[in-house]
Amino acid sequence: MASRYSVIQYVPDPIADERINIGVVAFNNNTVRVRFVSNWERVRHFGLQDIEFLKDFARQMNNEAKQGLLFPCEKFSELTNQERIIKISRGWINSIQFTEPRGSLDTVDELLEDIASTYLHEKNSALESKIKVRDRQATARIIKSKTLSALKREFGDHARELLKVNYEIPGSSTSNKFDVVVANGKPYFAAHGISFEVDIPDTLKDAVMWRISDVKSLQPNFPLAIFVLPPKLEQDHYQQIKSTYQKTINTYQEMGADIVQEYEVEPWLLSQIKSLTGQLPKHF
């Protein structure tokens, strides 16, 4: 099921139309996830007025989202979540406004992580402000950069023709999107990133597991790597997170994925690229 998202913005003076992002919402017809800024001081300085009503609104949306609801008032009762957001984004003129929803092929939980990283420019927790951590988006950037570099060394200017980003690989049940796929008419190998340097929901770990399972059930020998960033010693509840991390990567391995840590990315890529000899057109 396609997911959609909207950015929640604070507009102190609708006439001036100056705005600041205060939250994001990701949803489909059955699930709603929201996230707001954790530090409201920047918002307070932006509006130069009391913002308790914004915090109250954030609490209300969080409570409703836990029940899978968006604005459960009577006038919206016959509308889908997407129709509700569209109606609100086009009709509201007060100081809390929503952007028109956009679509994504990611799950709702994956989408929430991506849009929060993009639109809410702050650390997600006090821990992350103290230590340098990398989230799932960072893993995706790392694997993309390293794959492009490895392809350039082997294929020069043709590297970008082979590198596919957020590309879908067919599985037994559906097509599954991966951060990086090397393909030319057909996919040769794929990689996807996940980070345990930050807290991640079970649904995100399960989404990666589903990708592996679905692809491997159709193509058991298809080369597939999961690039992982292990937890850091400085993290709260490190031992608990480490245990979850170990169980998760063991499960991924048992399902047929290669588990690749940061220092192993380039060797894994080079081994896969060497296997392409004879499979590509002569101009490569």
Task: For 76-86, write each residue's pLDDT tens digit.
Answer: 556 666 677 77
pTM of the model: 0.56
Give the best-scoring range by mean pLDDT among 130-134, 159-163, 230-234, 236-240. Answer: 159-163
Neighbours of 183 (CB within 10 A): 15
Give the start-to-end residue ranges of the domains of the chain.
3-122, 136-274
Which residues on neighbouring strands pair with residue 32, listed in sequence order?
A: 27
Residue 279 burial by CB count (10 A; 0-12/13-18/19+): exposed, middle or buried? Answer: exposed
Question: Could you write out the three-class secondary structure of 10-24?
Answer: ECCCCCCCCCEEEEE
Report how far residue 187's alpha carbon sits from residue 5's, in angstroms, rounded to the nearest whole number. 29
Mean pLDDT score across all residues of the chain: 85
Q: What's the pLDDT score for residue 283? A: 59
* pLDDT tens-digit series, residues 137-164: 899 999 999 999 999 988 888 889 999 9
In this structure, CATH architecture of domain 136-274 = 3-Layer(aba) Sandwich (3.40)
* pLDDT tens-digit series, residues 3-36: 889 999 888 876 667 788 999 998 888 888 999 9
> ∠ CA 159-164-170 to the nearest 5 degrees?
135
